[in-house]
Chains A and B, each alone.
Chain A
Amino acid sequence: MTSLPITLTINGHRHELEVDPRVTLLDLLRERLDLTGTKKGCDRGQCGACTVLVDGKRINSCLALAVSHDGADVLTIEGVAHGEELHPVQAAFIAHDGFQCGFCTPGQIMSTLGLIAEGQAGDDPERIREGLSGNICRCAAYGGIVEAVLEAQEQLAKADRRTAA
Protein backbone atom coordinates (compact mmCIF):
# COMPACT_ATOMS: atom_id res chain seq x y z
CA MET A 1 0.00 0.00 0.00
CA THR A 2 1.08 3.56 -0.57
CA SER A 3 1.98 5.86 2.26
CA LEU A 4 -0.62 7.62 4.33
CA PRO A 5 -0.44 11.16 5.70
CA ILE A 6 -0.40 11.55 9.49
CA THR A 7 0.28 14.31 11.98
CA LEU A 8 2.03 13.73 15.28
CA THR A 9 3.09 16.10 18.01
CA ILE A 10 6.34 14.74 19.35
CA ASN A 11 7.99 16.41 22.34
CA GLY A 12 5.96 19.51 21.60
CA HIS A 13 6.85 19.71 17.89
CA ARG A 14 4.31 19.09 15.19
CA HIS A 15 5.33 16.68 12.43
CA GLU A 16 3.46 16.09 9.20
CA LEU A 17 4.55 12.77 7.81
CA GLU A 18 3.79 10.21 5.14
CA VAL A 19 4.11 6.69 6.51
CA ASP A 20 3.80 3.15 5.25
CA PRO A 21 0.97 1.63 7.32
CA ARG A 22 3.32 -1.14 8.52
CA VAL A 23 5.59 1.31 10.33
CA THR A 24 5.39 1.16 14.10
CA LEU A 25 5.59 4.24 16.24
CA LEU A 26 8.93 2.91 17.50
CA ASP A 27 10.46 2.59 14.04
CA LEU A 28 9.10 5.96 13.01
CA LEU A 29 10.76 7.64 15.99
CA ARG A 30 14.07 5.87 15.54
CA GLU A 31 14.49 5.50 11.79
CA ARG A 32 12.68 8.52 10.39
CA LEU A 33 12.94 11.16 13.09
CA ASP A 34 16.32 10.26 14.54
CA LEU A 35 14.89 10.06 18.04
CA THR A 36 16.99 7.05 18.97
CA GLY A 37 16.61 7.45 22.73
CA THR A 38 13.59 5.14 22.56
CA LYS A 39 15.08 1.66 22.28
CA LYS A 40 14.09 -1.46 20.42
CA GLY A 41 14.68 -4.45 22.67
CA CYS A 42 12.35 -7.36 21.95
CA ASP A 43 10.10 -5.56 19.43
CA ARG A 44 7.23 -7.74 20.79
CA GLY A 45 5.87 -6.05 23.92
CA GLN A 46 7.98 -8.05 26.33
CA CYS A 47 10.72 -5.72 27.60
CA GLY A 48 9.50 -2.11 27.93
CA ALA A 49 12.59 -0.57 26.28
CA CYS A 50 10.32 1.16 23.73
CA THR A 51 8.04 2.83 26.32
CA VAL A 52 6.78 6.30 25.37
CA LEU A 53 3.88 8.39 26.60
CA VAL A 54 1.03 8.75 24.11
CA ASP A 55 -1.52 11.35 25.15
CA GLY A 56 -0.02 11.11 28.64
CA LYS A 57 -0.17 7.33 28.95
CA ARG A 58 2.73 4.90 28.74
CA ILE A 59 2.54 2.30 26.01
CA ASN A 60 4.92 0.00 24.14
CA SER A 61 5.67 1.84 20.90
CA CYS A 62 6.77 -1.43 19.24
CA LEU A 63 3.18 -2.70 19.26
CA ALA A 64 1.65 0.55 18.02
CA LEU A 65 1.13 1.37 14.34
CA ALA A 66 2.06 4.97 13.61
CA VAL A 67 -0.99 5.41 11.35
CA SER A 68 -3.29 4.31 14.11
CA HIS A 69 -1.95 7.13 16.31
CA ASP A 70 -2.52 9.93 13.79
CA GLY A 71 -3.05 13.16 15.74
CA ALA A 72 -1.51 11.88 18.96
CA ASP A 73 0.72 13.72 21.38
CA VAL A 74 3.91 11.71 21.97
CA LEU A 75 6.54 12.23 24.64
CA THR A 76 9.87 10.44 24.27
CA ILE A 77 12.95 10.48 26.48
CA GLU A 78 14.37 13.33 24.36
CA GLY A 79 11.51 15.57 25.49
CA VAL A 80 11.75 14.91 29.23
CA ALA A 81 14.46 17.36 30.35
CA HIS A 82 13.87 21.12 30.16
CA GLY A 83 16.91 22.19 28.16
CA GLU A 84 19.91 21.57 30.41
CA GLU A 85 17.74 21.09 33.46
CA LEU A 86 16.97 17.46 34.23
CA HIS A 87 13.47 16.33 35.06
CA PRO A 88 13.15 15.37 38.77
CA VAL A 89 12.75 11.73 37.72
CA GLN A 90 16.05 11.85 35.83
CA ALA A 91 17.80 13.61 38.71
CA ALA A 92 16.47 11.06 41.19
CA PHE A 93 17.63 8.17 39.00
CA ILE A 94 21.15 9.66 39.13
CA ALA A 95 21.03 10.41 42.85
CA HIS A 96 19.91 6.87 43.74
CA ASP A 97 21.99 4.99 41.20
CA GLY A 98 18.81 3.89 39.46
CA PHE A 99 20.44 3.90 36.04
CA GLN A 100 20.46 0.71 34.12
CA CYS A 101 22.23 0.23 30.81
CA GLY A 102 21.64 2.58 27.91
CA PHE A 103 19.06 0.24 26.51
CA CYS A 104 16.89 -0.08 29.58
CA THR A 105 17.15 3.36 31.17
CA PRO A 106 15.08 5.47 28.74
CA GLY A 107 12.20 2.99 28.96
CA GLN A 108 12.49 2.90 32.76
CA ILE A 109 12.31 6.68 32.97
CA MET A 110 9.34 6.92 30.62
CA SER A 111 7.61 4.14 32.50
CA THR A 112 8.26 5.92 35.80
CA LEU A 113 6.69 9.10 34.42
CA GLY A 114 3.65 7.03 33.44
CA LEU A 115 3.52 5.34 36.82
CA ILE A 116 3.60 8.65 38.69
CA ALA A 117 0.93 10.15 36.43
CA GLU A 118 -1.31 7.14 37.05
CA GLY A 119 -1.08 7.84 40.79
CA GLN A 120 -1.64 4.21 41.74
CA ALA A 121 1.65 3.32 43.41
CA GLY A 122 2.00 6.02 46.09
CA ASP A 123 4.85 5.41 48.49
CA ASP A 124 4.43 1.65 48.55
CA PRO A 125 7.66 0.04 47.28
CA GLU A 126 5.82 -3.15 46.39
CA ARG A 127 3.35 -1.32 44.21
CA ILE A 128 6.19 0.63 42.59
CA ARG A 129 7.92 -2.65 41.73
CA GLU A 130 4.71 -4.06 40.33
CA GLY A 131 4.01 -0.86 38.43
CA LEU A 132 7.41 -0.95 36.75
CA SER A 133 7.42 -4.68 36.06
CA GLY A 134 6.72 -4.08 32.37
CA ASN A 135 10.36 -3.00 32.04
CA ILE A 136 12.61 -5.99 32.05
CA CYS A 137 16.38 -6.09 31.72
CA ARG A 138 18.46 -9.19 31.42
CA CYS A 139 20.83 -8.36 34.23
CA ALA A 140 18.41 -7.29 37.00
CA ALA A 141 20.00 -3.95 37.90
CA TYR A 142 16.84 -2.58 39.43
CA GLY A 143 18.18 -1.79 42.90
CA GLY A 144 18.08 2.01 43.06
CA ILE A 145 14.95 2.54 41.02
CA VAL A 146 12.43 2.24 43.84
CA GLU A 147 14.35 4.83 45.87
CA ALA A 148 14.52 7.08 42.82
CA VAL A 149 10.77 6.86 42.25
CA LEU A 150 10.05 7.69 45.89
CA GLU A 151 12.32 10.71 45.77
CA ALA A 152 11.04 11.93 42.40
CA GLN A 153 7.47 11.79 43.65
CA GLU A 154 8.45 13.87 46.64
CA GLN A 155 10.24 16.45 44.45
CA LEU A 156 7.30 16.66 42.07
CA ALA A 157 4.83 17.07 44.92
CA LYS A 158 7.01 19.88 46.35
CA ALA A 159 7.14 21.59 42.96
CA ASP A 160 3.34 21.30 42.73
CA ARG A 161 2.94 22.91 46.15
CA ARG A 162 5.27 25.76 45.07
CA THR A 163 3.22 26.40 41.92
CA ALA A 164 0.01 26.26 43.92
CA ALA A 165 1.32 28.77 46.48
Chain B
Amino acid sequence: MRDFDYIRPATIPDAIAAAAEPGSAYLAGGTNLLDLMKGGITSPERIVDISRLPELNRIERLEDGGLRIGALVRNADLAHDAAFAKAYPMVAEALLSGASAQLRNAATVGGNLLQRTRCSYFYDTASACNKRVSGAGCAALGGENRLHAVLGWSDACIATHPSDFCVPLVALDAVVEIEGKQGRRHVTLAEFHLLPGETPQRENALEPGDLIVAVRLPAEAASFAANARYLKVRERTSYAFAVVSAAAALVVDGGKIRAARLALGGVAAKPWRARTAEAVLLGADANEATFASAADAALADASPSGDNAFKIELARRIVVRALTSAQAGTPERLPALPASPFSSIPGARHDA
Protein backbone atom coordinates (compact mmCIF):
# COMPACT_ATOMS: atom_id res chain seq x y z
CA MET B 1 0.00 0.00 0.00
CA ARG B 2 1.33 3.44 -0.91
CA ASP B 3 2.04 5.93 1.85
CA PHE B 4 -0.71 8.44 2.60
CA ASP B 5 -1.57 11.25 4.96
CA TYR B 6 -4.31 10.41 7.39
CA ILE B 7 -6.64 13.02 8.80
CA ARG B 8 -9.79 12.77 10.86
CA PRO B 9 -11.64 16.08 10.59
CA ALA B 10 -14.06 16.99 13.36
CA THR B 11 -16.68 18.74 11.24
CA ILE B 12 -18.35 18.26 7.87
CA PRO B 13 -16.98 21.54 6.39
CA ASP B 14 -13.44 20.56 7.42
CA ALA B 15 -13.91 17.15 5.82
CA ILE B 16 -15.14 18.68 2.58
CA ALA B 17 -12.31 21.19 2.43
CA ALA B 18 -9.75 18.43 2.98
CA ALA B 19 -11.29 16.04 0.47
CA ALA B 20 -11.55 18.71 -2.22
CA GLU B 21 -7.73 18.65 -2.52
CA PRO B 22 -6.57 16.43 -5.40
CA GLY B 23 -5.52 12.90 -4.40
CA SER B 24 -7.92 12.69 -1.45
CA ALA B 25 -10.38 9.94 -0.60
CA TYR B 26 -12.98 9.62 2.11
CA LEU B 27 -12.79 6.59 4.38
CA ALA B 28 -16.02 5.34 5.97
CA GLY B 29 -16.16 1.60 6.75
CA GLY B 30 -13.12 1.04 4.56
CA THR B 31 -14.38 -2.32 3.27
CA ASN B 32 -14.09 -1.27 -0.36
CA LEU B 33 -11.47 1.48 -0.21
CA LEU B 34 -8.84 -0.56 1.69
CA ASP B 35 -9.44 -3.55 -0.57
CA LEU B 36 -8.74 -1.36 -3.63
CA MET B 37 -5.70 0.24 -1.99
CA LYS B 38 -4.22 -3.14 -1.12
CA GLY B 39 -4.57 -4.18 -4.75
CA GLY B 40 -2.94 -0.97 -5.99
CA ILE B 41 -6.09 -0.12 -7.94
CA THR B 42 -6.36 3.18 -6.19
CA SER B 43 -3.65 4.98 -4.21
CA PRO B 44 -4.92 8.11 -2.51
CA GLU B 45 -2.34 10.51 -1.11
CA ARG B 46 -4.67 11.64 1.65
CA ILE B 47 -7.27 9.66 3.55
CA VAL B 48 -10.03 11.75 5.09
CA ASP B 49 -11.58 9.54 7.77
CA ILE B 50 -15.23 10.50 8.11
CA SER B 51 -16.22 7.54 10.27
CA ARG B 52 -16.73 9.72 13.37
CA LEU B 53 -18.30 12.80 11.88
CA PRO B 54 -21.18 13.76 14.17
CA GLU B 55 -24.83 13.30 13.26
CA LEU B 56 -24.33 11.17 10.15
CA ASN B 57 -25.17 7.90 11.88
CA ARG B 58 -28.85 8.57 12.55
CA ILE B 59 -32.05 7.26 11.03
CA GLU B 60 -34.66 10.03 11.19
CA ARG B 61 -38.32 10.05 10.36
CA LEU B 62 -39.22 13.24 8.50
CA GLU B 63 -42.33 15.32 9.08
CA ASP B 64 -43.65 14.59 5.59
CA GLY B 65 -43.56 10.84 6.31
CA GLY B 66 -40.26 10.27 4.54
CA LEU B 67 -37.13 8.76 6.03
CA ARG B 68 -33.62 10.15 6.20
CA ILE B 69 -30.79 7.66 6.62
CA GLY B 70 -27.43 9.15 7.61
CA ALA B 71 -24.51 8.21 5.37
CA LEU B 72 -22.63 6.59 8.25
CA VAL B 73 -25.40 4.26 9.37
CA ARG B 74 -23.95 0.74 9.17
CA ASN B 75 -25.60 -1.64 6.72
CA ALA B 76 -26.27 -4.18 9.49
CA ASP B 77 -27.79 -1.61 11.85
CA LEU B 78 -30.15 -0.37 9.16
CA ALA B 79 -31.29 -3.85 8.14
CA HIS B 80 -31.85 -4.90 11.76
CA ASP B 81 -33.82 -1.78 12.66
CA ALA B 82 -37.23 -3.37 13.15
CA ALA B 83 -39.26 -0.33 12.11
CA PHE B 84 -37.13 0.12 9.02
CA ALA B 85 -37.48 -3.52 7.94
CA LYS B 86 -41.24 -3.36 8.44
CA ALA B 87 -41.69 -0.25 6.33
CA TYR B 88 -39.14 -1.06 3.61
CA PRO B 89 -38.86 -4.85 3.65
CA MET B 90 -37.17 -5.23 0.29
CA VAL B 91 -34.44 -2.79 1.28
CA ALA B 92 -33.72 -4.83 4.42
CA GLU B 93 -33.72 -8.01 2.35
CA ALA B 94 -31.25 -6.50 -0.11
CA LEU B 95 -28.95 -5.27 2.66
CA LEU B 96 -28.88 -8.67 4.33
CA SER B 97 -28.21 -10.45 1.06
CA GLY B 98 -25.06 -8.37 0.55
CA ALA B 99 -21.56 -9.38 1.68
CA SER B 100 -21.20 -11.09 5.09
CA ALA B 101 -22.18 -10.23 8.65
CA GLN B 102 -18.64 -9.00 9.37
CA LEU B 103 -18.63 -6.71 6.35
CA ARG B 104 -22.17 -5.44 6.96
CA ASN B 105 -21.13 -4.44 10.48
CA ALA B 106 -18.45 -2.17 8.99
CA ALA B 107 -20.01 -1.09 5.68
CA THR B 108 -21.91 2.19 5.61
CA VAL B 109 -24.85 3.50 3.61
CA GLY B 110 -22.77 6.13 1.78
CA GLY B 111 -19.93 3.71 1.06
CA ASN B 112 -22.29 1.14 -0.39
CA LEU B 113 -23.53 3.61 -3.00
CA LEU B 114 -19.95 4.38 -3.99
CA GLN B 115 -18.43 0.91 -4.05
CA ARG B 116 -16.57 0.25 -7.28
CA THR B 117 -17.32 -2.40 -9.86
CA ARG B 118 -16.21 -5.99 -9.31
CA CYS B 119 -15.09 -6.38 -12.95
CA SER B 120 -12.08 -8.66 -12.59
CA TYR B 121 -10.04 -6.68 -15.14
CA PHE B 122 -10.64 -3.51 -13.15
CA TYR B 123 -9.18 -5.37 -10.15
CA ASP B 124 -6.22 -6.71 -12.14
CA THR B 125 -3.77 -3.84 -12.61
CA ALA B 126 -2.00 -5.77 -15.38
CA SER B 127 -5.12 -5.54 -17.58
CA ALA B 128 -6.29 -2.70 -19.78
CA CYS B 129 -9.21 -0.88 -18.17
CA ASN B 130 -10.73 2.45 -19.16
CA LYS B 131 -12.15 2.93 -15.70
CA ARG B 132 -8.77 2.68 -14.00
CA VAL B 133 -6.70 4.38 -16.70
CA SER B 134 -8.72 6.56 -19.03
CA GLY B 135 -8.13 5.60 -22.67
CA ALA B 136 -6.34 2.34 -21.87
CA GLY B 137 -8.96 0.11 -23.52
CA CYS B 138 -11.24 -2.53 -22.04
CA ALA B 139 -9.91 -6.03 -21.51
CA ALA B 140 -13.37 -7.29 -20.57
CA LEU B 141 -14.83 -6.60 -24.02
CA GLY B 142 -13.04 -9.53 -25.63
CA GLY B 143 -12.29 -11.33 -22.38
CA GLU B 144 -14.12 -13.35 -19.74
CA ASN B 145 -17.34 -11.46 -19.41
CA ARG B 146 -20.14 -13.78 -18.49
CA LEU B 147 -21.03 -11.55 -15.52
CA HIS B 148 -20.85 -8.21 -17.32
CA ALA B 149 -23.56 -5.75 -18.34
CA VAL B 150 -26.46 -6.43 -20.69
CA LEU B 151 -28.06 -2.98 -20.44
CA GLY B 152 -26.68 0.53 -20.91
CA TRP B 153 -23.11 -0.55 -21.67
CA SER B 154 -20.79 1.07 -24.21
CA ASP B 155 -17.72 -0.01 -26.14
CA ALA B 156 -15.66 1.79 -23.54
CA CYS B 157 -16.88 -0.26 -20.54
CA ILE B 158 -19.21 -3.18 -19.87
CA ALA B 159 -18.90 -3.33 -16.07
CA THR B 160 -21.84 -3.60 -13.66
CA HIS B 161 -22.51 -1.79 -10.41
CA PRO B 162 -22.37 -4.44 -7.68
CA SER B 163 -24.57 -2.96 -4.96
CA ASP B 164 -27.64 -4.83 -3.70
CA PHE B 165 -28.85 -1.97 -1.47
CA CYS B 166 -29.12 0.46 -4.40
CA VAL B 167 -31.55 -1.74 -6.34
CA PRO B 168 -34.63 -1.42 -4.08
CA LEU B 169 -33.56 2.15 -3.29
CA VAL B 170 -33.76 3.22 -6.91
CA ALA B 171 -37.11 1.48 -7.24
CA LEU B 172 -38.42 3.49 -4.28
CA ASP B 173 -37.27 6.87 -5.68
CA ALA B 174 -34.50 7.36 -3.14
CA VAL B 175 -32.71 10.69 -3.13
CA VAL B 176 -29.05 11.26 -2.28
CA GLU B 177 -28.33 14.25 -0.07
CA ILE B 178 -24.93 15.71 -0.89
CA GLU B 179 -22.93 18.44 0.78
CA GLY B 180 -20.17 20.16 -1.16
CA LYS B 181 -18.29 23.40 -1.29
CA GLN B 182 -21.42 25.10 -2.68
CA GLY B 183 -23.71 23.80 0.08
CA ARG B 184 -26.31 21.03 0.08
CA ARG B 185 -28.08 19.57 -2.91
CA HIS B 186 -30.31 16.59 -3.65
CA VAL B 187 -29.83 14.18 -6.54
CA THR B 188 -32.18 11.28 -7.23
CA LEU B 189 -30.46 7.91 -7.00
CA ALA B 190 -31.66 7.24 -10.56
CA GLU B 191 -29.49 10.16 -11.71
CA PHE B 192 -26.68 9.63 -9.23
CA HIS B 193 -24.87 6.77 -10.98
CA LEU B 194 -23.77 7.39 -14.57
CA LEU B 195 -23.74 5.05 -17.53
CA PRO B 196 -20.27 4.57 -19.04
CA GLY B 197 -20.65 6.20 -22.47
CA GLU B 198 -17.25 7.52 -23.51
CA THR B 199 -16.24 8.34 -19.95
CA PRO B 200 -16.45 5.20 -17.79
CA GLN B 201 -14.04 6.73 -15.28
CA ARG B 202 -16.85 9.12 -14.28
CA GLU B 203 -19.21 6.94 -12.25
CA ASN B 204 -21.45 9.33 -10.38
CA ALA B 205 -22.65 12.89 -9.91
CA LEU B 206 -20.12 13.80 -7.20
CA GLU B 207 -17.64 16.66 -7.61
CA PRO B 208 -14.31 16.76 -5.74
CA GLY B 209 -14.93 17.13 -2.01
CA ASP B 210 -18.62 16.24 -2.25
CA LEU B 211 -19.78 14.27 0.77
CA ILE B 212 -22.86 12.08 0.82
CA VAL B 213 -24.58 13.04 4.07
CA ALA B 214 -27.78 11.01 3.79
CA VAL B 215 -30.12 8.97 1.65
CA ARG B 216 -33.78 9.89 1.72
CA LEU B 217 -36.83 7.75 1.04
CA PRO B 218 -40.01 9.65 0.17
CA ALA B 219 -43.19 8.99 2.15
CA GLU B 220 -44.69 6.96 -0.68
CA ALA B 221 -41.91 4.35 -0.39
CA ALA B 222 -43.56 2.82 2.67
CA SER B 223 -46.85 2.24 0.84
CA PHE B 224 -45.37 -0.88 -0.79
CA ALA B 225 -44.56 -2.61 2.51
CA ALA B 226 -47.14 -5.40 2.13
CA ASN B 227 -46.03 -6.55 -1.33
CA ALA B 228 -42.33 -6.01 -1.84
CA ARG B 229 -39.45 -8.44 -2.40
CA TYR B 230 -35.79 -8.43 -3.33
CA LEU B 231 -34.60 -11.50 -5.17
CA LYS B 232 -30.92 -12.16 -5.73
CA VAL B 233 -29.46 -14.93 -7.83
CA ARG B 234 -25.82 -15.71 -7.22
CA GLU B 235 -23.33 -18.47 -7.71
CA ARG B 236 -23.62 -19.72 -4.14
CA THR B 237 -26.47 -19.36 -1.67
CA SER B 238 -24.89 -16.60 0.35
CA TYR B 239 -21.88 -14.28 0.50
CA ALA B 240 -21.56 -13.58 -3.21
CA PHE B 241 -22.38 -10.70 -5.52
CA ALA B 242 -25.52 -10.89 -7.64
CA VAL B 243 -25.42 -12.42 -11.09
CA VAL B 244 -28.82 -10.79 -11.49
CA SER B 245 -31.14 -9.35 -8.87
CA ALA B 246 -34.54 -7.70 -8.87
CA ALA B 247 -36.54 -5.50 -6.51
CA ALA B 248 -40.27 -5.66 -7.10
CA ALA B 249 -42.97 -3.74 -5.25
CA LEU B 250 -46.69 -3.64 -5.91
CA VAL B 251 -49.89 -2.14 -4.61
CA VAL B 252 -52.65 -4.55 -5.62
CA ASP B 253 -56.32 -3.80 -5.13
CA GLY B 254 -59.14 -6.04 -6.34
CA GLY B 255 -56.71 -8.01 -8.49
CA LYS B 256 -55.51 -4.89 -10.30
CA ILE B 257 -52.08 -3.32 -9.98
CA ARG B 258 -52.52 0.21 -8.63
CA ALA B 259 -48.83 1.01 -8.29
CA ALA B 260 -45.67 -0.82 -9.32
CA ARG B 261 -41.95 -0.44 -8.86
CA LEU B 262 -39.26 -2.54 -10.48
CA ALA B 263 -35.48 -2.35 -10.60
CA LEU B 264 -32.70 -4.75 -11.59
CA GLY B 265 -29.21 -5.29 -10.21
CA GLY B 266 -26.16 -6.89 -11.80
CA VAL B 267 -27.21 -5.90 -15.30
CA ALA B 268 -25.79 -2.40 -15.83
CA ALA B 269 -23.30 0.19 -14.58
CA LYS B 270 -26.07 1.56 -12.39
CA PRO B 271 -28.98 0.13 -10.42
CA TRP B 272 -31.45 -0.26 -13.26
CA ARG B 273 -34.93 1.18 -12.85
CA ALA B 274 -37.30 -0.58 -15.28
CA ARG B 275 -39.79 2.19 -16.02
CA THR B 276 -41.21 0.71 -19.22
CA ALA B 277 -42.02 -2.45 -17.29
CA GLU B 278 -43.71 -0.40 -14.57
CA ALA B 279 -45.91 1.17 -17.27
CA VAL B 280 -46.94 -2.32 -18.42
CA LEU B 281 -47.85 -3.29 -14.86
CA LEU B 282 -49.80 -0.19 -13.94
CA GLY B 283 -53.55 -0.80 -14.12
CA ALA B 284 -53.13 -4.36 -15.42
CA ASP B 285 -54.38 -7.55 -13.78
CA ALA B 286 -51.90 -8.96 -11.30
CA ASN B 287 -51.19 -12.28 -12.96
CA GLU B 288 -48.39 -14.20 -14.58
CA ALA B 289 -49.19 -13.02 -18.10
CA THR B 290 -48.84 -9.41 -16.99
CA PHE B 291 -45.61 -10.19 -15.16
CA ALA B 292 -44.20 -11.88 -18.28
CA SER B 293 -45.04 -8.84 -20.44
CA ALA B 294 -43.42 -6.60 -17.85
CA ALA B 295 -40.30 -8.76 -17.90
CA ASP B 296 -40.15 -8.55 -21.70
CA ALA B 297 -40.45 -4.78 -21.49
CA ALA B 298 -37.73 -4.59 -18.84
CA LEU B 299 -35.27 -6.47 -21.02
CA ALA B 300 -36.40 -5.16 -24.42
CA ASP B 301 -33.27 -3.06 -24.86
CA ALA B 302 -30.87 -5.67 -23.50
CA SER B 303 -28.02 -7.03 -25.57
CA PRO B 304 -25.16 -9.32 -24.63
CA SER B 305 -21.74 -7.75 -24.18
CA GLY B 306 -20.00 -11.08 -24.78
CA ASP B 307 -20.55 -14.41 -23.03
CA ASN B 308 -23.44 -13.14 -20.96
CA ALA B 309 -26.48 -13.63 -23.17
CA PHE B 310 -27.83 -16.04 -20.53
CA LYS B 311 -28.24 -13.09 -18.18
CA ILE B 312 -30.95 -11.61 -20.37
CA GLU B 313 -33.14 -14.69 -20.10
CA LEU B 314 -32.17 -15.12 -16.45
CA ALA B 315 -33.15 -11.50 -15.71
CA ARG B 316 -36.50 -12.00 -17.43
CA ARG B 317 -37.26 -14.98 -15.23
CA ILE B 318 -36.03 -13.23 -12.11
CA VAL B 319 -38.35 -10.32 -12.85
CA VAL B 320 -41.33 -12.65 -13.20
CA ARG B 321 -40.40 -14.46 -10.02
CA ALA B 322 -39.78 -11.27 -8.05
CA LEU B 323 -43.15 -9.87 -9.13
CA THR B 324 -44.88 -13.16 -8.30
CA SER B 325 -43.23 -13.20 -4.87
CA ALA B 326 -44.16 -9.58 -4.25
CA GLN B 327 -47.77 -10.31 -5.16
CA ALA B 328 -47.77 -13.29 -2.78
CA GLY B 329 -46.89 -10.84 -0.01
CA THR B 330 -44.01 -9.80 2.16
CA PRO B 331 -43.12 -12.67 4.51
CA GLU B 332 -44.15 -12.61 8.15
CA ARG B 333 -40.67 -12.81 9.57
CA LEU B 334 -38.50 -10.03 8.38
CA PRO B 335 -35.91 -9.86 7.19
CA ALA B 336 -36.41 -13.08 5.29
CA LEU B 337 -32.90 -14.35 5.05
CA PRO B 338 -31.20 -14.94 2.69
CA ALA B 339 -32.98 -13.56 -0.35
CA SER B 340 -32.22 -16.65 -2.36
CA PRO B 341 -34.54 -18.88 -4.36
CA PHE B 342 -32.69 -21.90 -2.99
CA SER B 343 -33.03 -21.11 0.68
CA SER B 344 -34.90 -23.50 2.93
CA ILE B 345 -35.91 -20.67 5.27
CA PRO B 346 -39.68 -20.21 5.17
CA GLY B 347 -40.46 -16.86 3.58
CA ALA B 348 -37.11 -16.60 1.87
CA ARG B 349 -38.08 -19.00 -0.87
CA HIS B 350 -39.22 -17.01 -3.84
CA ASP B 351 -41.14 -19.81 -5.49
CA ALA B 352 -43.11 -20.77 -2.40
- Give A residues with C-beta under 8 Å from B: 1, 4, 21-22, 24, 43-45, 48, 51, 57-60, 63-65, 67-68, 111, 114-115, 118, 120, 124, 126-127, 129-136
Contacts and interface: CB of A to CB of B under 8 A. Distances in A.
24 contacts: A1-B4, A1-B5, A43-B38, A48-B102, A51-B102, A58-B102, A60-B31, A63-B29, A64-B34, A67-B8, A67-B49, A68-B27, A68-B51, A111-B102, A114-B101, A120-B80, A126-B344, A126-B345, A127-B337, A129-B238, A130-B337, A130-B345, A131-B101, A132-B101
B3 interface: yes
B100 A63 contact: no
Contact of A134 (B1, B103, B237): B103
Given A118-B101, A134-B100, A63 B337 contact: no
A48 to B, nearest CB: 6
B338 interface: yes
Given A4-B6, A21-B47, A114 B337 contact: no
Contacts of B127: none
B208 interface: no
Contacts of B38: 43-44
A18 B8 CA distance: 16
Contacts, number: 99
B6 A124 contact: no
Q: Considering residues B1, B35, B99, B105, which has the most beta carbons from chain A within 10 angstroms of its beta carbon?
A: B105
A133 B345 contact: no
A18 to B, nearest CB: 13
A59 B106 contact: yes
Interface in B1-15: 1, 3-6, 8
Contact of B106 (A64, A111, A126): A64
Contact of A22 (B1, B80, B101): B1
B306 interface: no
Interface size class of B (residues with CB under 8 A): 20 to 34
B310 interface: no
B329 interface: no
A159 B340 CA distance: 36
Nearest to A127: B337
Interface of chain B, main secondary structure:
loop
A58 B104 CA distance: 9
Contacts of A134: 99-103, 239
Given A48-B102, A127-B345, A134-B100, A63 B35 contact: yes
B31 A126 contact: no
Given A1-B4, A1-B6, A118-B80, 5 more contacts: A21-B6, A21-B47, A44-B35, A65-B47, A130-B237
A60 B239 contact: no
B294 to A, nearest CB: 30
B331 interface: no
Contact of A24 (B34, B76, B345): B34
B30 interface: yes
A22 B99 CA distance: 24
Nearest to B101: A134
A135 B27 CA distance: 25
Nearest to A129: B238
Contacts of A22: 1, 3-4
B30 A130 contact: no
A63 B30 contact: yes
Contacts of B29: 63
Contacts of A21: 4-6, 47
The 9 closest A-B pairs by CB, nearest first: A134-B100, A21-B6, A133-B238, A133-B239, A57-B105, A134-B102, A59-B106, A60-B102, A63-B34
A58 B101 contact: yes
Contact of A68 (B30, B105, B344): B30
Contact of B101 (A45, A68, A111, A124): A111
Nearest to A119: B80
Contacts of A118: 76, 80, 101
B42 interface: no
